[in-house]
Amino acid sequence: MRTTKAGEQSGFTLIEMLITVAVIGILASIAYPSYQGYVESARVTDGQAKLMELASELERCYTADYSYSGCISLPVDSDEGYYKVTGSPSSSSYTLTATHSGSQVKTACKTLTIDQSGQTTPDAECW
């Protein structure tokens, strides 16, 4: 417990408060961009998940009917709404494309694709 003499005040000085605010500002300026990067990466999984879900549906349909056409209706939005999935499945092949039009995902991952052989684009950075 801090005791004070008569006439003295206890508390923080202006310099101590300014130093504290400056340290918090520096930490925030370092942490926020890193946080944004993780959020953008996490949003890419929304498009990946929808592509994988639709590819699975197409493969199940092909197993039963020996054709990819007519199995799913496109275009469709991803579950979280960050991507729109388009494509045109034929009887023997398909290519599904998930496209993001905003700036809420990693720039390299604005367009994701998968085809009937499991080939994905772009590179491993997004998958």
- pTM for the complete prediction? 0.75
Residue-level pLDDT at 16: 93
The CATH superfamily of 14-121 is Glycoprotein, Type 4 Pilin (3.30.700.10)
Identify the residue whose tokens are 């579950």: 79
Q: Give pLDDT, residue 12.
A: 85
What pLDDT is recorded for position 5?
A: 67
- Decide: 37 and 63 in contact? Cβ < 8 Å: no
Where are the domains positioned within the chain? 14-121
Report the alpha-carbon distance of residue 10 to residue 8 in Å, rounded.
7
Task: Walk along the chain (127 residues) and give the pLDDT tens digit of each residue.
Answer: 556 666 677 788 999 999 999 999 999 999 999 898 888 888 899 999 999 999 999 999 999 999 999 999 999 999 999 999 999 899 999 999 999 988 888 888 999 999 999 999 887 788 8
